[in-house]
C-alpha cells in the first residue's frame, strides 16, 4: 500500500513538472536567453537576398564576430515566442530576405526578416513578438554586411 502511494506521488510530481515545462516552453522570452539555451556559439552569418528577376538569389557569408554580436544585440531588444505546430503557417518555398546564424556543428538559426519568424534547424519555429522589428536597422545591417 505504501509503495502504491509512493508511486502515485511520483507520477503526480512528474506530471506537474511536465505541465509546467510545457507551459513555460511557449512563453515569451528574450532573444539572448533563447540563444543562451541553445548552448552554441555562432561562427558565421549567411545572408540571402532574393532576386527580383527570378534568377539565383544573392547569398554571401560573413564570419566577423563583431557582426554576429551586433545582430544578437539588436535582436535582444525583442521578445520571441515558440510557435505550436498548429500555429505554423509559414511557407519557406518562396525566396525571402533572411539571415542565418551558423555554428561549427552545422546548427542553423534562420531569421526571415519580412515575416518576423525564426526557424531553428528546420524544426522549431519562433515568432518575434516584441514590437514591429526595426526594418531600417536590418536593411542597414544587410547592406553594410555586403561589403
**Of 18 and 44, which is predicted with more confidence?**
44
Q: What is the pLDDT of residue 97?
A: 78
The model's pTM: 0.70
CA dihedral sign, ordered 65, 67, 73, 78:
negative
Residues 66-89: pLDDT tens digits? Answer: 898 888 888 888 888 888 877 777
Q: What is the pLDDT of residue 94?
A: 64
Q: What ranges do the domains of the chain cover?
A: 29-144
Q: What is the pLDDT of residue 95?
A: 61
Q: What is the mean pLDDT of the chain?
A: 78
Amino acid at each position: 500500500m505504501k509503495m502504491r502511494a509512493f508511486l502515485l506521488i511520483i507520477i503526480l510530481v512528474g506530471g506537474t513538472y511536465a505541465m509546467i515545462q510545457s507551459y513555460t516552453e511557449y512563453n515569451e522570452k528574450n532573444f539572448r536567453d533563447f540563444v543562451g539555451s541553445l548552448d552554441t556559439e555562432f561562427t558565421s552569418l549567411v545572408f540571402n537576398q532574393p532576386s527580383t528577376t527570378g534568377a539565383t538569389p544573392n547569398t554571401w557569408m560573413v564570419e566577423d564576430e563583431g557582426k554576429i554580436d551586433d545582430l544578437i544585440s539588436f535582436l535582444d531588444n525583442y521578445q520571441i515566442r515558440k510557435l505550436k505546430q498548429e500555429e505554423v503557417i509559414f511557407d519557406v518555398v518562396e525566396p525571402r530576405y533572411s539571415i542565418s546564424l551558423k555554428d561549427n556543428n552545422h546548427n542553423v538559426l534562420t531569421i526571415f526578416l519580412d515575416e518576423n519568424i525564426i526557424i531553428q534547424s528546420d524544426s522549431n519555429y519562433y515568432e518575434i513578438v516584441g514590437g514591429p522589428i526595426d526594418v531600417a536597422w536590418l536593411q542597414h545591417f544587410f547592406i553594410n554586411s555586403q561589403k
